[in-house]
C-alpha cells in the first residue's frame, strides 16, 4: 500500500514538473548581454556654421531586470567634425576625437501593456526610450582660429582637451531573435540618440548662448551570455 502511494506521488510530482517546464516555454530570458554597435554622428549644436557626418563605435554590457527593462553600460569612441575655415564667415572648423562612457536605463513598451491579444501591440512591444548620464573626453585635434576676431587681435576661448558630463536621450527599437528554447538570444538594436553636453567645449570653442550637443544614429548587436531567469509574461508571440 505504501509502495503504491509512493509510486503515485512520484508520478504526480514528475507530471507537475513536466507541466511547469512546458508552461515556462517563452517565459525565460538571460539577465546579461554583451554587444557592440556602429553609428554616424553630427555635432548638431556646436559653435560652427556647417555640420559634417562622422563615425563612432561602441561596446556595451546590459543587465536585464526583465526582457523589457534594461540597464546599459556603454563605452564609445569616435569623431565629431564641423565647420569650414575657407567657406564660412566665422572661419571656424574643428575635429574632435572623443571617448565617452555612459549609463542608461532603458524601458521598452512591452513592460507597460498586454501585447498578447493584439498583433499591433505585439509589433510595438520592443519600442523603447532610454536616458541616463555620461562622461565625454574631448580631444580636439584640429581647430581653426576665428578669422574675423583674429583680424581684430583676439580669438574665442576654448581648450583642446576637456572632460564634460552629458545626458543621453535615446529612442530605439530592439529586434529580438529567439533560440530553440524561445529565449531572446540575439538582439538587433536600432536607435537615435541625442546627447545634451553640460558644457560648451565639444568643438574647442566657447561661444554662443547654448551648450553643445551631438546626435547619433546607431545599429548594434547584443548577445545573451547567461543568468537565465523567468518573466511573468510570455515573451514571443
Give per-residue pLDDT as tens, 21-51: 444 455 899 999 999 999 999 988 666 767 8
Give per-residue pLDDT as tens, 44-92: 866 676 788 999 999 999 999 999 999 999 999 999 987 765 666 666 7
- Judge: domain 29-230, CATH 3.40.50.620: no
Strand partners for 132: 104
Over pLDDT 90: what percentage of the chain? 56
pLDDT at 7: 53
Give per-residue pLDDT as tens, 191-217: 999 999 998 888 777 777 788 899 999
Helix (H, G, I), strand (E, B) or coil at 209: coil
Torsions phi, psi for 2 (to 5 deg): -65, -40
Q: Whole-angstrom Cα distance, residue 18 to residue 205? A: 66
C-alpha cell of 185?
538570444
Enumerate the domain spans of the chain. Answer: 29-230
> Which residues fall within 8 angstroms of residue 208, CB to CB, at 6 or more apart?
47, 200
* Lowest mean pLDDT segment, chosen from 13-17, 95-99, 170-174: 13-17
pLDDT at 8: 47
Q: Whole-angstrom Cα distance, residue 40 to residue 57? A: 9
218: nearest Cα among 89, 78, 106, 105: 78
Amino acid at each position: 500500500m505504501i509502495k503504491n502511494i509512493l509510486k503515485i506521488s512520484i508520478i504526480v510530482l514528475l507530471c507537475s514538473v513536466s507541466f511547469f517546464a512546458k508552461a515556462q516555454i517563452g517565459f525565460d530570458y538571460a539577465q546579461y548581454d554583451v554587444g557592440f554597435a556602429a553609428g554616424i554622428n553630427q555635432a548638431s549644436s556646436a559653435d560652427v556654421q556647417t555640420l559634417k557626418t562622422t563615425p563612432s563605435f561602441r561596446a556595451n554590457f546590459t543587465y536585464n531586470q526583465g526582457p523589457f527593462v534594461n540597464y546599459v553600460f556603454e563605452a564609445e569612441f569616435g569623431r565629431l567634425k564641423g565647420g569650414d575655415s575657407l567657406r564660412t564667415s566665422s572661419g571656424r572648423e574643428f575635429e574632435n576625437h572623443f571617448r565617452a562612457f555612459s549609463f542608461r536605463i532603458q524601458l521598452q513598451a512591452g513592460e507597460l501593456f498586454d501585447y498578447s491579444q493584439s498583433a499591433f501591440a505585439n509589433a510595438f512591444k520592443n519600442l523603447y526610450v532610454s536616458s541616463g548620464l555620461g562622461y565625454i573626453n574631448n580631444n580636439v585635434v584640429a581647430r581653426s582660429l576665428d578669422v574675423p576676431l583674429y583680424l581684430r587681435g583676439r580669438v574665442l576661448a576654448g581648450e583642446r582637451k576637456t572632460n564634460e558630463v552629458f545626458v543621453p536621450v535615446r529612442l530605439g527599437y530592439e529586434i529580438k531573435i529567439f533560440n530553440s528554447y524561445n529565449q531572446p538570444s540575439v538582439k538587433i538594436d536600432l536607435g537615435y540618440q541625442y546627447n545634451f553636453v553640460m558644457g560648451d567645449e565639444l568643438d574647442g570653442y566657447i561661444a554662443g548662448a547654448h551648450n553643445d550637443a551631438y546626435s547619433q544614429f546607431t545599429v548594434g548587436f547584443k548577445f545573451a551570455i547567461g543568468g537565465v531567469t523567468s518573466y511573468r509574461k510570455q515573451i514571443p508571440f
